[in-house]
Amino acid sequence: MSSSLTYAYYPGCSGLGTSIEYDQSTRAICAALGIELVDIPDWSCCGSTPAHTVDHTLSAALSARNIAQAEELDVQGIITPCPSCLTNLKTASHRMEDPEFKEKVNKLLDKPAENRLPIMSVLQVISEKVGPEGVAKKVVSSLEGLRVAPYYGCIMNRPPDVMDFDDCENPVAMDELMAALGADVAPFPLKVECCGASFGVARKDIVAKLSGKLLDAAEDVEAHAMVTACPLCQMNLDLRQDQINSANGSTHDMPVFYYTQLIGKALGLDAKSLQMDKLCVPPAKAFRKMEEARRANAS
């Protein structure tokens, strides 16, 4: 094994498109934190939301194929930044603990999956293997003064017996990492609320209501920015912020970062690899507020 932390990396479809900044910043900070990522060769779509509504075995087979591909690598586990991909991988793996189900799934595959590798989110690996102290040691440009509202989304920690990470009602992994960067972490009450995710296309009114509530809550705790760990959450809060404002009559102007981008910034990584310019609500004003807060603290 080349490094102590080597993982099979599953970027997921959104990582190559709508959330390319999440994928790029994840790769950048993993390199900086000493986590080696090996892309799963010839990975395929995990089935996302539609597959498991049709057939559990077929849906599991989509993920099991990726698991089988990863098993050929010399790695400690499979990791992915996207909670939705994570849910599919972990649910498939969890269900395959039943030998009967495993057999049905493997029948659909050219190459059977052994289902032996642990599956984790990138967030879990950073918070458990590197740890907030490990991250803090590498900080070169502290985020002191930046008040952030960490938002985990509804599926990063749920269902608890499948995901088996952090507290499903009050997760703290991102809070601790943000605090390690020097940021001022707001007690955000809606950490695990749904943003409306899957209704994005069909029922924009629901997204406007649910995501609007999240933005209201972030405003209420006086956050300068929100921090997310999910491509869909980030998209709903950031890309749709104007839609939400016009639907709800609100005037939110809240930057929504991926936590990987903020870690990257604090570690002093270059702007290109963090791709802050891909964010729709310009992040600059959050950093301006951070500077103001620093000056106020200093005086």
Partner 1 sequence: MKIGVFVCHCGSNIAGTVDVAKVAEEARKLPDVAFASDTMYACSEPGQDGIIEAIKEHNLDGVVVASCTPRMHEPTFRRTVERAGLNKYMFEMANIREHVSWIGKDKEANTRKAIDLVAMAAAKLTNDRGLTAKSFEINKRVMVIGGGVAGIQAALDCADGGLEVILVEKTSSIGGKMSKLDKTFPTVDCSSCILGPKMVDIAQHPNITLYAHAEVDDIQGYVGNYEITVNKKATYVDWEACTGCGVCTEKCPSKKSKDVFNEEIGFTTAINIPFPQAIPKKATIDPDFCRKLTSGKCGVCEKICPTKAIQFEQQDEKVAESVGAIIVATGYDLFDYTRYGEYGGGRYADVITSLQYERLLSASGPTGGHIKRPSDGKEPKNVVFIQCVGSRDKSVGRPYCSGFCCMYTAKQAILTKDHLPESQSYVFYMDIRAPGKMYDEFTRRAMEEYGTRYVRGRVSMIYPMGDKLIVRGADTLMGTQVEVEADLVVLAVGAEAAKGAPQLAEKLRISYDSYGFYMESHPKLRPVETNTAGVYLAGSCQGPKDIPQSVGQGSAAASKVLTLFSKDQLESDPQISEVNIKRCVGCGKCIETCPFGAIEEMDFRGEKKAKVIETICQGCGICTSTCPQGAIQLQHFTDNQILAEVNVLCQQTLQQSFE
* Interface residue list for partner 1 (CB under 8 A): 167-170, 187, 189-190, 193, 216-217, 220
Least distance from C-beta 220 to partner 1, angstroms? Answer: 6
User: In whole angstroms, how far apart are CA 155 and each of 132, 159, 221, 235?
Assistant: 22, 7, 23, 16
Nearer to partner 1, 216 or 253 (CB): 216
Least distance from C-beta 255 to partner 1, angstroms? Answer: 21
Closest C-alpha among 193, 200, 289, 186 to residue 239: 200
Strands (E), the chain: 6-9, 36-39, 78-80, 119-121, 147-151, 184-185, 225-228, 256-258
Nearer to partner 1, 207 or 269 (CB): 207
Nearer to partner 1, 108 or 168 (CB): 168
CA distance 224 to 208: 21
The tokens 């990396």 sit on which residue? 9
Whether the bond between 132 and the residue before it is cis, its omega within 30 degrees of 0, is no
Least distance from C-beta 150 to partner 1, angstroms? Answer: 14
Nearer to partner 1, 158 or 289 (CB): 158
Two tokens, residue 142: 């502290």
Least distance from C-beta 106 to partner 1, angstroms? Answer: 33
Nearer to partner 1, 20 or 168 (CB): 168
264 φ/ψ sector (left φ>0, alpha ψ -120 to 50, else beta): alpha
Least distance from C-beta 147 to partner 1, angstroms? Answer: 16
